[in-house]
Amino acid sequence: MTALDHDVAAQLKDAAGAEGWSEDQGEIAPHLSEWRGRWQGKTSLLLKPDNTAAIARILMICNQTRTAIVPQGGNTGLVGGQIPASGEVLLSLERMNRIRRVSADENLLVAEAGVVLAEVQRVATGAGRLFPLSLAAEGSCTIGGNISTNAGGVHVLRYGMMRDLVLGLEVVLANGSTLDLMKGLRKDNTGYDLKQLFIGAEGTLGVITAAMLKLVPQPASCVTVLTAISGVSSALPILNELQYESGGQVQAFEIMQRRAIELVLRQIPGTSNPLPGTHEWLLLIEIGNSAALDSTHATEQVLSRAIDHGLASDAVFANSLKQREELWRLRESIPEAQRKQGRSIANDISVPLARLGEFVDMAEAAVRGVLSQAVCMTFGHAGDGNLHFAILAPEHQDALISAQREMEDAVHECVWRLNGSISAEHGIGVARREAFARQKQVEEIRTMAALKRALDPNNILNPGKLLSAGLP
C-alpha cells in the first residue's frame, strides 16, 4: 500500500461529513488492535459516516481512485478480517446506529449496521419478541459485523445462523451504487437471492449498511441445567432424547471440558462450580418453554435415564434467574479466562455430530505430537457440531508460538479427515486464508473469485481478506 493521496483524503473527508472522520491516532488506535492483540493494523484516516448516502459517496471515490478500504463493525472479530493491515482507509460503521423500524405483528426489526447486538435484543424484547442471536460479545459486536461474518453463537441449534435471521439487506457496492434488498418477504422466487452473497462475505463484496431481521416469539420460560456427562460421545443421545421429549425446543446445548471450567474458576472472580466433584465433561442445556408446555419434568426424566444408562453422572437445575446467570457465566467467561491466562491458539471447527468425540481424541493426540507440553481445551456448541478447540502452554509460551503453524495444520488435518470445516462461525479473515484455500475445491475458489471480480473489479473492499490477493 502507498500513502493515502492528500487530494483523495480530502474528498473522503468531505464525503464523510464534518463529524465523520478522524486523523487523531489516539482515537484511531482502539480500531487497530484485535481483541486478543494478535493483529495490529495501521491507517492514516478513519471514516465514520452516519448515513448510507455518505458511504455510497465514499466507496465511489475509493473505487475511482483505487483506494483500498476496510469496513469495521464492533471490532470483535477473531480472525483479523476487520483490521487494516496495510494502511488502508478504515471505514467504521459505529455511527450507523439507528433502529429504523420494529414490528411485532410482522416479526421483524430494521437496524442499521452499527447497532450493537445487545441493543437489537433489548428493542425486540420491548416489543414482546426475541432476536435469538446470542454470543459472548453481544455487548459490543454490531449487526453489520454479525452479518458479514455470518455469526453463530449459542442458539444456532434452534434458530440457525445469522444467515437464517436476515430477511433483507441494504448494501453499498464497491462502485458506490446501493442495493435495496429490504422487501422482507418470506417467499420470493424471482431470481438469485442476492442478499445471501453478502452474508459471510466479510466485507469483500459490499458494505452492509442496514438489515431487516427476523424476530421470533419469546419463550414463556426456560429450563436451564448443568449436567456432568461420561464423555463427548454421550452428548448426542442426550440431545436427541431431549429434542424428542421437548418437541424440538432445545435452544442451547453447550459442552465444556473440565480444563475450561477450572481455568474460569482461576481467572474470573466470583465464579463457582455448582457440581461437586471432578467431572471431565459438562453440558449446559437450555430449553425454551412455550406458554403451553413446561419441559422441566421431561428434562428431569431424560437426565435421570441418562444417569441410569451411564451417559451422565450428576445435574443441577437453575431455580432462579440468578442461578441461570451464574451457570451461563461459567460458559461465557471461557474466552476471557483464556485471554487472561496468556497466549493461546484458537480453533473454531465443525465436524459431523456423531464424530465430535473422535475429533477431540484425534486432535489432542495430534497437538501433543507437535508439542508435548501443550494443553488442549475444548468447549462450544455440541448441538450443532461446532467446537472451540484451544491450545495453551502456560509454562512454554515461546514454544507454543514457534509451533503455532504446525499445530494449526495438525488440527486442520484432523478436521478434514472427519469431513468437517476449519471455520464454523468465526470466518476466514487473514488467520484462516491459507487453510481455507487448501480446504476448498479449486472450482469453489474460482467461483468465489469470479464474484469478487464482478462486484469489486478494482479490489478495494477489504483486500487480502478471505480470498488471497492473487485470485485464480
Q: Do 88 and 12 fall into the same domain? A: yes
Grid cell in block for residue 230: 461420561
Distance, in Å, from the CA atom of 310 to the CA atom of 308, rounded to the nearest integer, reads 6
Residue 449: exposure state from Cβ atoms within 10 A (0-12, 13-18, ≥19)? middle
Q: Do 191 and 133 fall into the same domain? A: yes
Residue 442 inside a domain? The answer is no
Domain count, the chain: 4
Provide the residue range defining the domain that includes 79.
6-95
pLDDT band (50, 70, 90) for residue 2: low
* DSSP H/E element including 141: none
Helix then strand then coil, in percent of the chain rounded to 5, is 40, 25, 40
Question: For residues 189 and 439, is the Cβ–Cβ distance under 8 A?
Answer: no
Q: Do 81 and 144 fall into the same domain? A: no
The string of pLDDT tens digits covering residues 84-141 is 999 999 999 999 999 999 999 999 999 999 999 999 999 999 999 999 999 989 999 9
Residue 277: exposure state from Cβ atoms within 10 A (0-12, 13-18, ≥19)? exposed
Distance, in Å, from the CA atom of 390 to the CA atom of 360, rounded to the nearest integer, reads 11
Q: b/e for 190-227, b at 16 or more Cβ within 10 A?
A: eeeeebebbbbbbbbbbbbbbbbbbbbebbeebbbbbb
Question: For residues 367 and 347, is the Cβ–Cβ distance under 8 A?
Answer: no
pLDDT band (50, 70, 90) for residue 38: confident
Residue 446 inside a domain? The answer is no
**Backbone CA torsion sign across 395, 398, 400, 403:** negative
246-255, 385-394, 429-438, 447-456: range with lowest mean pLDDT: 429-438
Share of the chain above pLDDT 90, in %: 88
pTM above 0.85, yes or no: yes
Q: For residue 137, give every residue at least 6 positions away whose Cβ sits within 8 Å of its Cβ, in sequence order, or none.
A: 74, 76, 117
CATH code (residue 118): 3.30.465.10
Q: Do 168 and 276 fall into the same domain? A: no
Cα–Cα distances in Å, from 171 out to 167, 400, 441, 450?
13, 41, 28, 19
Residue 285 inside a domain? The answer is yes
Residue 452 inside a domain? The answer is no
pLDDT of residue 255: 98
The string of pLDDT tens digits covering residues 412-421 is 999 999 999 9
Nearest by Cα to 144 from 115, 175, 184, 107 = 115
Q: Do 117 and 72 fall into the same domain? A: no
- Phi and psi, residue 14, nearest 5°: -65, -40
The string of pLDDT tens digits covering residues 131-186 is 999 998 999 999 999 999 999 999 999 999 999 999 999 999 999 999 999 998 99
Whether 302 shows a pLDDT value over 60: the answer reads: yes
Q: Do 300 and 357 fall into the same domain? A: no
pLDDT of residue 395: 84
Residue 453 inside a domain? The answer is no
Residue 463 inside a domain? The answer is no
The string of pLDDT tens digits covering residues 375-407 is 999 999 999 999 999 999 988 889 999 999 999
Residue 464 inside a domain? The answer is no
Q: Do 205 and 241 fall into the same domain? A: no
Q: How far is CA 203 from the centre of its chain?
A: 14
Give counts: helices (H), strands (E), the chain: 17, 18
Mean pLDDT of the chain: 94
**Backbone CA torsion sign across 239, 150, 197, 171:** positive
Distance, in Å, from the CA atom of 244 to the CA atom of 223, rounded to the nearest integer, reads 15
Beta bridge partners of 312: 229
Q: In which residue are the cell numbers 430449553 written?
A: 287
Question: For residues 435 and 412, is the Cβ–Cβ distance under 8 A?
Answer: yes
Nearest by Cα to 400 from 343, 444, 359, 357 = 343
- Polymer length in residues for the chain: 472
Distance, in Å, from the CA atom of 251 to the CA atom of 239, rounded to the nearest integer, reads 11
* DSSP H/E element including 410: helix 404-417
pLDDT band (50, 70, 90) for residue 468: low
What letter does residue 176 receive in the DSSP assignment? Answer: S
Distance, in Å, from the CA atom of 409 to the CA atom of 350, rounded to the nearest integer, reads 15
Whether 222 shows a pLDDT value over 50: the answer reads: yes
Last residue of a domain, one of 217, 244, 273: 217
- Phi and psi, residue 232, nearest 5°: -60, -35
pLDDT of residue 43: 96
pLDDT band (50, 70, 90) for residue 470: very low
Q: Do 103 and 71 fall into the same domain? A: no
Last residue of a domain, one of 305, 334, 363: 334
**Backbone CA torsion sign across 425, 428, 429, 432:** positive
Instruction: Taking residues 15-36, report their average pLDDT.
Output: 93
Last residue of a domain, one of 70, 95, 120: 95
Grid cell in block for residue 132: 435469538
Q: b/e for 70-80, b at 16 or more Cβ within 10 A?
A: bbbbbbbbbbb
Distance, in Å, from the CA atom of 406 to the CA atom of 370, rounded to the nearest integer, reads 7
Residue 449 inside a domain? The answer is no
Q: Do 54 and 134 fall into the same domain? A: no
Beta bridge partners of 166: 213
Grid cell in block for residue 86: 496495510
Q: In what order do the strands lie in the sheet with 250-257?
A: 312-317, 221-229, 281-289, 250-257, 375-381, 386-392, 344-350
